Amino acid sequence: MKRVLLFLFICSILSANSSMPMPIQGKFPKHLDECIDGYLYRVFIDDKGQIIPSSIHQVLEKSSLHEKILPKTCKIETQKPVK
């Protein structure tokens, strides 16, 4: 009986952990990923996981614990004209 209760308890914990939704993370395009400037920015992400450009605000300097961040100095790459 104790083993059955232990088994049910473990199964309930495992099923509760697996049903937690994963947060949406924005994806940095390659040209933005290459020009990270060392400051922390707050950005908002839309339903498609894209960063909303008008929501970018500088917060503070980046420390070693912060993840990659979106700098204001990065520009959207323009397509080169085909000759």
pLDDT at 74: 57
Residue 38 CB-density burial (10 A; 0-12 exposed, 13-18 middle, 19+ buried): exposed
Q: Model confidence over 23-80: pLDDT tens digits?
A: 655 555 566 556 655 666 677 888 888 888 887 776 655 444 445 555 555 555 544 5
* Cα dist from 79 to 27, 30, 52, 71, 76, whole Å: 20, 14, 21, 21, 10
pLDDT at 66: 46
